[in-house]
Chains A and B, each alone.
Chain A
Amino acid sequence: MTKINMTVNGRAVSAEAEDRTLLVEFLRSGLNLTGTHVGCDTSQCGACLVHVNGEAVKSCTMLAAEAEGAEVTTIEGMANADGSLSTIQAAFQEHHGLQCGFCTPGMVMSAAALLKDNPKPSEAEVRDYLEGNICRCTGYHNIVKAIMAASGQLDAIAAE
């Protein structure tokens, strides 16, 4: 067992964990932040996507110890300070960017990483960036629509 320290959603956390604990287990079981999902366990589906020091990574192929001292953001940290939905979350709700909802935390985190670097992506850029996130319901169209709306470009997709 090792004491692992990191900042999760702006809060300093410290918990004992076995060295072999994956970051996603640490978040889900250690910190009870179950919004981050485990879909495939092999870094393909992207349901476990979180931000580590601002970069989108898949938390199912990263040990918690690798994130020692890091700033981690999960879906639970995406809402505004007053608890209301962030622009991206609200857009997913408004445009029904989900069906079963399992991939949604990863999709929202991916969208946030994209819009941070590229605030006005084209539809093609959105689809390209979501390469690492799989929606088993195949609800991609509305996910893309939600992200375009969140970037203030709903017109670009409404013109279709």
Chain B
Amino acid sequence: MTYFLPQKLDDALELIQDGSAKLVAGGTDFYPAMQKGQAMGRIVDLSRLGDMQGVTKDGDGWRIGGATTWTELIAAPLPPAFDGLKQAACTIGSVQIQNAATLAGNLCNASPAADGVPALLTLDASVELASVRGRRILPLGEFITGVRQTRIAADEILSAILVPALPDHAVGRFEKLGSRRYLVISITMVAAVIGVGPDGLINFARLAVGACSAVAKRQPALEAALIGQRPQTVEVTPDDLTGLSPITDMRGDAEFRLIAAARQSTRAIQNRERS
């Protein structure tokens, strides 16, 4: 094994241009996934790339460096629409994991239960992929294609997450169901960004369900149906959720997961009134 600790993104891109290196940032998913006796090969550690860290205003939107840790995200001053993403961040592993684990790692690891994905989908996030060939931007919904599968090429690094401007009155919310509160794989989760107008009616709605399909799913039909409704009277049923295909395993069966996701959706939407 050879270990590289580059300080600049351009240096890292050169190190990985032949496509043979494995990328590590926080390492919190990488090492537990290693099998006994497995050769580690060539590793490029992205945790010291200063130009890939931190949250900055980018025009009207926001740019979150790929190597930003969840702890840094939680501490960043961001508008209320990001509250759901911050709540999701607080449920990832435990505090010590949040101190090391990065947003890009969560996205590139592409677990169906990745806690960061539903909230980032409700923020209409895109990912910036960098390589020596240049940079390209993909919507997050197109980037993750399946269970642990993404469209990243072997010579690319997820350098940043881009979030477009959101209305000031939109508020984010995240609901996670696990068998305990922390250090747990989500059974189901729901992220929402809801805006309520002066008339008390919903005029902005985005909602995504996670851990109920190979890739977390936005709910465009439900979002459209929410417009004009009063949040406290909304009751989401499993039939309102589309594109989901939850698995049955020891954490819960498919029917339970759909019911849970509907309840979480209701809660995520109604809670907007209180804050």
Contact = CB atoms under 8 A, between A and B. Distances in A.
Interface of A: 2, 18-20, 22, 41-44, 46, 49, 55-58, 60-63, 65-66, 68, 110, 113, 129, 131-133
Contact of B96 (A18, A42, A57): A57
B145 interface: no
Contacts of A68: 5
Contacts of A43: 28, 31-32, 93, 96-97
Contacts of B54: none
Interface range on chain B (Cβ under 8 Å from partner): 20 to 34
Q: Is the interface of A mostly helix, strand, loop or mixed?
A: mixed
Contacts of B30: 61
B32 A61 contact: yes
Contacts of B71: 55
Interface string B8-35: 0000000000000000100110111000
Nearest to A132: B94
B102 interface: no
5 contacts: A43-B96, A57-B96, A61-B32, A63-B31, A132-B183
Interface in B28-61: 28, 30-32, 40, 43, 45, 47
A58 B94 CA distance: 10
A55 B1 CA distance: 27
B40 A46 contact: no
B96 A58 contact: yes
Contacts of B27: 61-63, 66
Given A58-B28, A132-B182, 12 more contacts: A19-B1, A19-B40, A20-B1, A22-B31, A41-B32, A43-B28, A43-B32, A60-B31, A61-B30, A63-B31, A66-B27, A66-B45
B254 interface: no
Contacts of B95: 56, 113, 129, 131-132
A55 B97 CA distance: 11
Given A131-B94, A132-B95, A61 B100 contact: yes
A65 B43 CA distance: 11
B32 A131 contact: no
A52 to B, nearest CB: 8
Contacts of A113: 95
A62 B99 CA distance: 12
A110 B27 CA distance: 20
Nearest to A109: B96
Contacts of A42: 32
Contacts of A46: 94, 96
Contacts of A18: 1
B233 interface: no
Contacts of A66: 5, 24, 27, 45, 47
Nearest to A114: B95
Nearest to B2: A19
A24 B97 CA distance: 15
